[in-house]
Structure 1
Amino acid sequence: MTLLIRFLRLILGTGVFVLVFGGVELTQPETSTRWAVLGGTLGVLLLLHVWSSPRRGTADDPHPARMSDGKPQSGRAKRQGARPSELAAALAACRSAFASVALFSGVLNVLMLAGSLYMLEVYDRVLPSRSVPTLIGLSVLVAILYAGQGVLDFIRGRILVRIGGALDEALGARVYSSVLKLPLKVGRNGDSMQPVRDLDSVRAFLSGTGPTALFDLPWLPLYLAIIFMFHVLLGLTALVGAIVLVLLTVYAERLTRKPVTSGTQAGIVRNGLTTTGNRNAEVIAALGMGGRMAKRWEEANRDYLAEQRSVSDIAGGFGAVSKVLRMLLQSAMLGVGAWLVIEQQATAGIIITASILSGRALAPVDLVIANWKGFLTARQGWQRLTKVLTVVPADAEPMAMPAPSRHIFMQGVSIAAPGTQRLLVQDASFALEAGHAVGIIGQSGSGKSTLVRALVGAWLPAAGRVRLDGADLDQWSPEDRGRFVGYLPQDVELFAGTVAENIARFEPDADPALVIAAAKTAGAHDLIVGFRDGYETQIGELGEAVSAGQRQRIALARALYRDPFLVVLDEPNSNLDAEGEQALFQAIVSVRQRGGIVALVAHRPSALGTVDFILAMNQGRVQAFGLKDEVLAKLFPRPQPAVAAMPRLRLATEEPAPPLGAAAAGE
């Protein structure tokens, strides 16, 4: 690419040299003056390009400003040490690439004058003088300039594509991370992948033709000024047309703002229904809900299409109007020019040239209108992304902390579901030392699963503290905290990949010995090697390739990977058979024997055989906590056996009572 740019500079330099120094030889003095002005302008722009040619931010390297660690840093960040907006900082990191695009746009817009001036000279000088050498010279020059224009336009497009790619590269992982954390902040609402789609829309706009129109718009006054130089009436005609088109664009923005917003929201609802239906396909098929779910989706899709149709109608209508206005303006320029020729105030070449220049001046406005829908979509995506990245800030890297090994303490913890204010757990407190296990019991909806979500750091407490060895959970980074926490949720889901990858939590270059050790501890090793491909068996999306019981045992092995200090199991035996339950109990015993802590949510009494503490939940509060036998005796006191009636003592002188049958016969 560097050689291509140097070759382009050579072509442009040759063209400018011929334009400036060969104009007098080719045409009349008046003509040479016009071409000299153009050549001088091109020469200045070319000189600026040579001097300010960025070594970064071109088509070869769209990452212009990097810190020592390779991460982009904006100018404001360099001055203040903080970035107010991650999106703005990512774009600011490409500022030298944008400067290159602006410079290329400037050169391109000046080069685009060549065709108009070529036509002017052909009509006004070549045809009257019938000079073939002049025609050949002008044709060679304009061919050189057209070639340079094409190469510059190609390079400008490549730079814009790489700017979009650089933005995606800088923010892609960050946006995906926010997608993972957003449900833990605001709950599951609508289309969870919308932030990723928003980033795609911003990247697509930056990589398309929309930015080129925005970079070409500032050159509109140059074309108008040249038209004014031909004649004031021609300039006023072009100016009026430009003002009308700009006002049309502003009005189009006002009319499309609301439909675009509504259409995006309708699309989020529609995509959310699609995701939900796909995730619950088995239930929908079993219960015969397919038709009803399809009807709900169809209604949401109808709303989405209606909003999209409204936006398309408005954009298409304004596009048609702008096209008609452009043609009308060109005809008006021809009419005014013809009148000026009749009045002998202009030449025939000026008529054609002014008409072409006016069309060129208003072409960026037309392009802006054509890309207006994409611009609005990208702008709203930008706004939503900014909001999402603000709600889910990047994790600060805390100081490295040693793994806990002594105890866990929950103090006055109250928990609300993400995105709601209703407390599901209130003022929960308990403490547990290493080597012990607590069974968490209670009726459905009492807050057991909510409690353990806060225990592993998945949900943040609204009040209170969860501490390991005296340190709050957020004193460890999520990556470090995950190394000493094992979690088996109530709804077990595995990820697309192999059994080994799922057990190793997709850790790169995982030690096979640790994977096998976790599987053996969970009692899943024999189960896994029984698969045709063993640990390399592909599980499929959501673990659909294995049964529910197998999925639960593999997930238990994942929870036990690397011998975590805290192991939290939420109803781990819900899908297990007798063999699986026995393996589960042995795993809990092994965790306790190595000095770990187990928190077990259980409904079956058999699961409590391996715990020594009980925490009872009732309506979101801790009802009781203590040793297992004491708490169970308090919650479920054994009924006292009924006292048998003492036989009445009979004196020896008393006659024995007659038998029941004899008494009845006597009656």
Structure 2
Amino acid sequence: MLLLFVRCTYMAPKEKHPLKQTFEASKSAFIYVGLFSLFINVLMLTTPLYMMQVFDRVLASYSYDTLIYLTLIAVLALLILSLLDAVRTYIIIHVSVWFERKLSPPALALSPDQILLGNTYPEHALRDIATVKQFIGGSAVFTFFDSPWVPVYLIVIFMLDPVLGWISTIGALILFLCALLNELCTRKLLRDASEMAINTQQEMAASLRNAEAIQAMGMLPALISAWHKNNEAILHFQIKSSKISGNILALSKFIRSSLQIFILGVGAYLVLTNRITSGMMIAGSILMSRALAPVEQAISAWKQYQSAKHAIDRLKPHLAFQSHRLSGIQLPAPKGHLSVENLYYMPPALQKFVINGITLHIKPGEMAALIGPSAAGKSTLARLIAGVLKPNNGSVRLDTADVYQWERTDFGRYVGYLPQDIELFNGSVKENIARMGTINDAAVIKAAKQAGCHELILRLPQGYDTVIHRNSFGLSGGQRQRIALARALYGDPQLVILDEPNSNLDSDGELALLNALQELKRRQATVILIAHRPHVIHFVDTLIVLNEGKIQFSGPRDQILNKLKELAAAQADAQSQSKGN
């Protein structure tokens, strides 16, 4: 069973896959479980041996003392068996919990970078870890430890009488073939149903995030129709698989019951012909039940095994992903010098560079604005500067350190980032401003005041303790943006990146933003600003004009504004002349 989990081939030869490391670390626990299984299965012989002695010795000799001693020994053996079984269960439960605790943190840590690359699987990684944990900690796993003892029980039955042995062996083979047939007939159906279910859930989750558009434009029937079509395909696979499994399970139960009757009938015949004793007949029946139990349980256990195997197969590439980010050493606080050298970036889903050879330098304390037409690459450049995306070529450095390789927790202390799409987390307002970390009340209030949302927050039902639920329903777009701005300003970061910070703001919000920009300028923070409104650009020192992923113009604000005016005037003259002609 362990080979299922430790056979991982996704990483370099010198590096062990996290799954392999985890199961190798728990190998000793599985060895103990196997050892306890040995004693448990040996002690399982207690009942048939006790029955043999009672029928063949006690009833024949009428010995009360023998009956008492045999009963005490049998009860003691069964007590030890129960204790060993409890310890075995205790070990396997703790291994399953340890498995989840060991793999969940790296699975979560690797998720953001993979989602940024367009991989949607990380949203389901924890569910797959829970699936494997459930298999390891469930009763099905004991089937794999008890199955090797089936031949031992069959040998003991052969020792009683070869005829009984052959009946049990043939019965075990038939039940095994039923389990194998069940696997062969349902494997592809279950896999296809699982993959389709995951894809359907992802599609519906993405669609429902646009609930406003769905309701406003009456798109719900079309979405339900699309979901119904996909769900019917999933149900088709599941129903077909369940019918096959149900039929095979019913056949297995019939075979199992028939074997029990058959071995008792043949056993009775052998007693009548004096080949075996009545005690041996009863013992043979009990031993056959014990021998067939793991084989019979394999039908239901195999489904859990397959679910765990598929979950492992999905987890392998996720946990093998390497983000190439460094960790460990903490770098000194940066002064704020930003250097972008020959930067190229191509999104995974495109075959085109959206950032094409950009080079720029921003001095400490300088405020620069990125402007340009839509799809010019402004937001992508902001993400690269924030270390969110990994460039295909070139580098972004804060002072002398590469922002992508900088350890993220350490890097986050010096950087504030307000993305274009505002997302607040489940938690209180102050937890969101404090970036869901340790809360410094004074720093939270300071950031809120800088963002101009202190009074706004105090008007909320519980003030700073007001809980923001998923998608922050109840807060307007402007309120969300101002709280997110406070989050970006929390801790007085040296580098602040603001991607269209006034897109949802009213006049009061814009005034608060201008005050925040003045405060950032006063304390000499390096600011990268993406904005289109002139009164926001008025505060910047440098203007950088992007077009098709390249820098078209770059320089002091007034100089670039004059150049843009001249360019616009020249274009207007050219258009008027073309119309005149």
Question: Considering the TM-score relative to the shorter chain, is it more than 0.5?
Answer: yes
The residue number in structure 1 matching 2:451 is 522
Of 277, 286, 289, which residue of structure 2 is paired with 1:356?
286
Matched, 1:435 2:374: no
247, 250, 258: which one pairs with 2:180?
250
- 1:495 aligns to 2:403 (yes or no): no
Aligned counterparts of 2:405 and 2:302: Cα–Cα separation in 1: 47
Post-superposition CA distance 1:80-107 (Å, at most 9, x none) = x976121222233223322332222112
How far apart in 2 are the matches of 1:261 and 1:610?
58
Partner of 2:69: 137
Percentage of matched positions with identical amino acids? 39
Deviates most, 548-557 or 272-281 = 272-281
> 1:434 Cα shift?
1.3
8 Å Cα contact 2:168/2:288 also seen in 1: yes
The corresponding residue for 2:3 is none
- How far the C-alpha of 1:429 sits from its partner, in A, is 1.8
Contact residue 411 and residue 466 of structure 1 kept, 8 A: yes
Structure 2 residue aligned with 1:221: 151
Letter of the structure 2 residue corresponding to residue 578 of structure 1: S
Q: Does the Cα contact within 8 Å between 1:410 and 1:466 map onto a contact in 2?
A: yes
How many aligned residue pairs are there? 560
Equivalent residue letter for 2:480 = R
Choose 560-569 or 465-474, whichever is displaced more: 465-474
Any conservation in 1 of the 2:415–2:495 contact (CA below 8 Å)?
yes
Aligned partner of 1:554 in structure 2 is 483
Per the alignment, residue 9 of structure 1 pairs with none
Letter paired with 1:125: R
What does the per-residue CA deviation read over 1:274-307, in whole Å, with 9 as the maximum and x for residues that have no partner?
4224422233222222222222222222222222
CA RMSD of aligned residues (A): 2.4
Contact 1:269 1:300 in 2 (8 A): no
C-alpha contact (below 8 Å) 2:334/2:399 kept by paired residues: yes
Question: Does the Cα contact within 8 Å between 1:611 and 1:628 map onto a contact in 2?
Answer: yes
| AA of the residue aligned to 1:522 | A
Contact 1:435-1:596 at 8 Å conserved across structures: yes
Paired residue secondary structure (1:97):
helix
SS in 1 for 2:427: coil
Structure 2 distance, partners of 1:532, 1:454, is 38
Task: Map 1:81-92; keep pairs closer than 5 Å.
Answer: 84-92=16-24
Provide the rounded CA distance (Å) in 1 between the counterparts of 2:325 and 2:26. Answer: 24
Equivalent position of 2:251 in the other structure: 321
Equivalent position to 2:522, from 568, 580, 593 = 593
CA contact (8 A) 2:502 2:513 kept: yes
* Correspondent of 2:414 among 443, 459, 484: 484
Q: TM-score, normalised by structure 2?
A: 0.90
Once residues 282 and 178 of structure 1 are traced to their aligned partners in structure 2, the CA distance between those partners, rounded to angstroms, is 31
Aligned residue in 2 for 1:565 = 494
The aligned counterpart of 1:50 is none
Looking at structure 1, the residues matched to 431 and 182 of structure 2 have their Cα atoms a distance apart, in angstroms, of 52
Which of 512, 515, 518 is the matching residue for 1:583? 512
SS of structure 1 residue aligned to 2:490: coil
- 1:533 aligned to 462, 471, 479, which one? 462
Query: 1:392–1:284: structure 2 CA closer, same or farther, 3 Å change rule?
Result: farther
For residues 309-348 of structure 1, what are the structure 2 equivalents within 5 Å? Answer: 309-348=239-278
Q: Deviation of residue 393 (structure 1)?
A: 5.8
Provide the rounded CA distance (Å) in 1 between the counterparts of 2:468 and 2:365: 34
Of the structure 1 ranges 335-344 and 468-477, higher mean CA displacement relative to structure 2 is found in: 335-344
SS in structure 2 at match of 1:440: strand
Provide the secondary structure at the position in 1 that maps to 2:467: coil
SS across alignment from 1:636: helix
Aligned residue for 1:41? none
**Distance apart, 1:621 and its partner CA:** 2.3
Q: Which amino acid aligns with 1:313?
A: K
CA displacement at 1:342 relative to structure 2: 4.3
After superposition, what is the alpha-carbon deviation per residue over 1:200-248, rounded to whole angstroms, capped at 9, x for unaligned?
Answer: 1001111111111111111112101111211223223322322333343
1:166 aligned to which of 98, 102, 116? 98
Q: Displacement, 1:433? A: 0.7
Write the letter of the residue equivalent to 1:597: T
Q: Quick check: 1:211 aligned with 2:141?
A: yes
CA offset at residue 420 of structure 1?
4.8
* Shift in Å, 1:339: 4.3
Deviations 1:363-386 (A, max 9, x none): 111112112211111111111112
TM-score by length of 1: 0.79
Alignment of 1:377-456 (within 5 A): 377-392=307-322, 396-418=326-348, 420-456=350-386
* Distance in 1 (alpha carbons) for counterparts of 2:351 and 2:63: 86
Alignment-derived partner of residue 200 in structure 1: 130
Superposed displacement of residue 460, structure 1: 0.9
1:99 aligns to 2:28 (yes or no): no
2:226 maps to what in 1?
Answer: 296
Q: Following the alignment from structure 1 to structure 2, what is the Cα–Cα distance between the partners of residues 420 and 354?
A: 69
Quick one: higher RCO (CA 8 Å, sep 6+), 1 or 2? 2
Tell me what 1:231 maps to: 161
**What is the CA–CA distance in structure 1 between the aligned matches of 2:259 and 2:350, rounded to whole Å?**
58
| Counterpart in the other structure of 1:177 | 109
In structure 1, what residue type is equivalent to 2:451? A
Tell me, what secondary structure is at the counterpart of 1:413? strand
Alignment deviations for residues 579-636 of structure 1 (CA, whole Å, 9 cap, x no partner): 2112212212222232221111112233211112111122222222222222233333
Partners in 2 of 1:420 and 1:363 — Cα distance? 55
Asked if structure 2 preserves the Cα contact closer than 8 Å seen for 1:414 and 1:461, the reply is yes
- Aligned partner of 1:78 in structure 2 is none
1:108 corresponds to: 40
CA contact (8 A) 1:413 1:466 kept: yes
Structure 2's unaligned 5+ residue stretches are 1-5, 7-12, 574-581
**Cα pair 1:334 1:352 within 8 Å, conserved:** yes
SS at match of 1:427: strand
Work out the CA distance in 2 between the residues paired with 1:356 and 1:308: 36
Distance 1:396 1:363 in 2: 52
Paired residue secondary structure (2:538): helix
Provide the C-alpha distance between the structure 2 equivalents of 1:446 and 1:174, rounded to a whole number of angstroms. Answer: 35
Change beyond 3 A, Cα 1:276–1:639: closer
Give yes or no for contact 1:398–1:476 (8 Å, CA) kept in 2: no
Deviation at 1:404, TM superposition (A): 1.7
Q: Where does residue 43 of structure 1 map in the other structure?
A: none
Contact 1:405 1:595 in 2 (8 A): no
Is the 8 Å Cα contact of residues 141 and 301 (structure 2) preserved in structure 1? Answer: no
Structure 1 residue 419, shift from structure 2 partner: 5.2
Q: Is residue 457 of structure 1 aligned with residue 384 of structure 2?
A: no
Measured after TM superposition, the shift of residue 266 of structure 1 is: 1.2
Shift of 1:392: 4.6
Shift of 1:573: 0.5
Q: Secondary structure at the match of 2:338?
A: strand
- 1:25 alignment partner in structure 2: none
Task: Describe the shift of the 1:396–1:405 C-alpha distance in structure 2 as closer, same or farther (beyond 3 A).
Answer: closer
What are the Cα deviations for residues 238-283 of structure 1, in whole angstroms up to 9, with x where unaligned? Answer: 2232233334333433333222221121111222134224422233
- Describe the SS at the equivalent of 2:327: coil
The amino acid of 1:115's aligned partner reads T
Residues 390, 354 of structure 1: alpha-carbon distance in 2 compared, 3 angstrom cutoff: same
Partner AA of 2:136 in structure 1: L
Deviation by residue 1:286-345 (Cα, 9 ceiling, x = unmatched): 222222222222222222222222333333333233323323333343344344334432
User: Equivalents in 1 of 2:129, 2:325: separation in Å?
Assistant: 20
State yes or no: 1:375 paired with 2:305: yes
Letter in 1 for 2:308: A
Counterpart of 1:489, as a letter, is: P
Distance in 2 (alpha carbons) for counterparts of 1:377 and 1:214: 15
> Which amino acid letter does the alignment assign opposite residue 346 of structure 1?
I
